[in-house]
Chains A and B, each alone.
Chain A
Amino acid sequence: MSGAKLDRRSVVRALLERRGDLLVVAGLGSSAWDCTAAGDHPLTFPLWGAMGSACMIGLGLAIAQARRRVLVVTGDGEMLMGLGSLATIAVQRPGNLAIVVLDNERYGETGMQKTHTAYGTDLAAIATACGFAKAEIVRSASQIAGVRAGIHRGKGPLFYQVKVASDPDPLVLPPRDGAYLKHRFREALLGKSSAAD
């Protein structure tokens, strides 16, 4: 194997193809664009702000929908802003929640400044120390099938820090009207009657 890092778009496409009844929260920035490039979907809730909140939205969703699998896809910068949420999630031990951090070691939307992971911060070790059922660093395409299996069947909470290249990808933007994103998610999950709640 060469030392080439994984391509984030390919990773996300592989994770989200044949997604079944998976519920997805996408952290702001490139992670949301990656999820949209894999196919805009009513059961994906992409964030455009509220940096640091993606994992907690995933936790609230996982508690509310204990019979569904919940996946948070976010970036290293977004994850770093909400590190405490890993401790909060580990306390709740949601068996149906997986977190995938696409770690390009950069703040991609603001000029590609290095994040703490570029200097050695080990997010998977933090998740392990918080008490996640499983946390690992993913560097090779051969590991992606295992990540998929974890997302769909593994006993959570699961954490995958996927080291990806920092090459820029074309922008593929999801809708940015938050009320619309909320309504379409709830209607797809809970039915039309959810609008009367």
Chain B
Amino acid sequence: MRRKTSEESPDGSLDWPAAIHRALKSHGVRQVSYVPDAGHKRLIELCHADRSMAAVPLTTEEEGIGLAAGAWLGGERAALLLQSSGVGNCINALTLSSNCGFPLLMLVTLRGEWGEFNPWQIPMGQATPEALRLGGVHALRLEQAGDAFDTVTAAAKLAFGGYGAVAVLIAQRMIGAKAFEEKR
């Protein structure tokens, strides 16, 4: 029988945001910045509730790249939560990773790839893997909720151990496509 974890809901589904939060904590991430996405809702709440973390709402995603660089200069680790629509906003700021070797850990919820109802999300969503590659960001895909801890752990090791920019792309299929009929 499979062992129950603290990240399993009563209905048996995995609380993957809690698994990601645990992975971030285990790697000493102290500053978590974000531009919200419905898929990041619970993780954002967990970070705000965690007194060992500064949760930093951003006005635009590239702010989080500067924040992560400053955190590292000061001896702390940071992570950036965003949706794929915001990846394009980050491109020029990625020079901080390319030129300086600042670690950067991005957790990107994907839109526009699986049952997307909003056509305006599709261009940036589908261009996200290639845009990240062009910006020098190594991307790992997260497709299954049960892999959340391991994938974010692997990404954190690559980012902080390898002094590089790493993104975890969280599949829209895993989060569930948003529909207008659903409130929020």
Contacts and interface: CB of A to CB of B under 8 A. Distances in A.
Interface residues of B, number: 33
A58 B99 CA distance: 18
B148 interface: no
Contacts of B21: none
**Dominant SS at the B interface?**
helix
A189 B67 contact: no
A82 B63 contact: yes
B100 A60 contact: no
A45 to B, nearest CB: 6
A28 B59 CA distance: 21
**Dominant SS at the A interface?**
helix
Interface string B34-67: 0000000000000000000010111110111111
13 contacts: A23-B73, A53-B62, A53-B66, A53-B96, A57-B67, A57-B70, A64-B31, A64-B70, A65-B74, A179-B99, A182-B72, A182-B73, A182-B101
Interface of A: 23, 25, 45, 48-65, 82, 84-85, 87-88, 91-92, 178-179, 181-182, 185-186, 189-190, 194, 197
Closest 3 CB pairs of A and B: A60-B70, A64-B74, A56-B66
Interface of B: 30-31, 54, 56-60, 62-76, 78, 92-93, 95-96, 99-102, 160
